[in-house]
Structure 1
């Protein structure tokens, strides 16, 4: 059995273990089925991963559909149990000295995120060094409130998943699991395989460049990044190149490039249509084209699904023309 950790939105921080890297790990084993340890069948059917910014699933779902690979979710009420962690913190904040306790939880969470954003090679995630470090940080959360709502019932959920895998006789299969559930599931499964060394290919390198553009920072070499993006023949890369132009204050160049993307196929990844139309609406507002801006904003709202941020931009744009806040960056 091969067990692979998914980093959700934190794949953006991993050039060698991004969403394409993880998909390549799955492809390497040629599975007929991929078991999802951290989703329930209901959650998978509702595509809750879209609103959780689970970047691996944006790559995995269309790949599996194209190749006839089954995605089978094994978590029983996984999303409801995980939501208990958020409810717990809300309840905690209402208690005497609750804010102080919330701050301790926030610090523990910050340390986990900081640990997971250290760039690593794929095979490092299966190493005892990585796993012991993650267990130590997860243990801090358990020490604060014990196993249960504070941890999203992680122990209970992964014990049940391990039992299901045993019933299914899943030897030789691939299991995808949230990285926070990963060490707990491994403890229940015993010796299993994990990510292996693979030479990066062009798709993986392109994904790393695009991920860097999504995280655009002041100290990036924007000119070099823009040149790299323009070499990638994907709508998402052109959209991100327009974002770089916009961040540099070149709204007209950004609008020109964004319009060019909008005239082609920009349906994939699934988050791109919402983001592109929302940003295009803002660019039209910035360049004095209000009617075109309204059409773009309404295009976002007409989509069957769009990221929450894109919908918020569109709703605000319909109400009033977009104007950047003083000294605020437009990203």
Structure 2
């Protein structure tokens, strides 16, 4: 076993049907089966507590070990640079060039992605070009130094690690490969995304309703599935409840949410109870059951973990009853 670098897309994992949290889980299972992964993942990605893989990995049986990264707070330094550059025409031109580089790379990340594409030369070169363009636009200094510091910190944390799987932002991979000669990208030979990836893609899609969606077909697809560890039946019910709520069917939404709430166990992804209870509290409020809604919000706020947006829903619900606007 050697040091393997996995690409992380953060919240964009919710966007790509063929490269989502379930896909990453399946890749880890594939690597583990072939002796290329252990029971835990070394986390070199961002600190976001609501990252989709912070749910999916433990639910699938993989531990997360945070790398000890001693990173300085560069936000204030960068804000000072932006403020300075905005004072001068040439500075504003530099900021526009940096923004164009960010937009170009964002277009790469939001186009349909698969693991072979994300790890392929075209996307990896786009990551290098992105950071090179930022350096050219802003020069060596507060605008770019943060990335070099980050790469150096990750490399230092991994200096004595001989093997394992490291999750790192996709655009960090080229720089980490330069700094860690023994590291490599995962071998995708024989790997094909399967049911875990497909189910995760279905749920992600159901949470992102669009005006032109065939809601009936989406409900039928959710109803046919029994779920798995990463995307349990309770989440599929909660996602389906969101569709009922979108069309104003409070009774249908409530029935599914209460079924989902009764199915919550210690084994479900850690964010799911908060998501279910936030939506259930709103539905009970909309049906005029204020006391029950308030109790639901309070149960949510007592959870050990709930996504930030669900806590905001609960806090708002305690201040004022939720009303459905159609």
TM-score category, normalised to shorter length: 0.7 to 0.9
Pair 1:215-2:199 in alignment:
no
Q: 1:63 to 1:91 in 2, by over 3 A?
A: same
CA shift for structure 1 position 163: 4.4
CA shift for structure 1 position 260: 1.6
How many residues align? The count is 306
Instruction: Identify which of 126, 134, 137 aligns with 2:130.
Output: 137
Q: 1:49 to 1:97 in 2, by over 3 A?
A: closer
Q: 1:93 to 1:204 in 2, by over 3 A?
A: same
Pair 1:116-2:109 in alignment:
yes
Q: 1:73 to 1:313 in 2, by over 3 A?
A: closer
Residues in 2 aligned to 1:284 and 1:152: alpha-carbon distance in whole angstroms: 50
TM-superposition CA deviations, 1:101-127 (whole Å, max 9, x none): 766655544443332121222122221
Instruction: Identify which of 141, 146, 154 aligns with 1:161.
Output: 154
Pair 1:194-2:186 in alignment:
yes
Residues in 1 aligned to 2:178 and 2:255: alpha-carbon distance in whole angstroms: 53
Instruction: Identify which of 9, 34, 40 aligns with 1:7.
Output: 9
Q: What's 1:91 paired with?
A: 80
Q: Secondary structure at 1:168's aligned position in 2?
A: coil
TM-score for both structures, normalised by structure 1: 0.82
Residues in 1 aligned to 2:169 and 2:146: alpha-carbon distance in whole angstroms: 14
Q: 1:251 to 1:106 in 2, by over 3 A?
A: farther
Instruction: Identify which of 193, 218, 221 aligns with 1:225.
Output: 218
5+ residue gaps in structure 2? 227-232
Cα root mean square deviation, aligned = 2.7
Q: What's 1:44 paired with?
A: none
Contact 2:286–2:323 at 8 Å: present in 1 too?
yes
Q: What's 1:43 paired with?
A: none
Q: What's 2:27 paired with?
A: 25
Q: What's 1:16 paired with?
A: 18
Residues in 1 aligned to 2:223 and 2:316: alpha-carbon distance in whole angstroms: 31
TM-score for both structures, normalised by structure 2: 0.83
Residues in 2 aligned to 1:148 and 1:63: alpha-carbon distance in whole angstroms: 41
5+ residue gaps in structure 1? 40-47
Residues in 2 aligned to 1:211 and 1:119: alpha-carbon distance in whole angstroms: 15
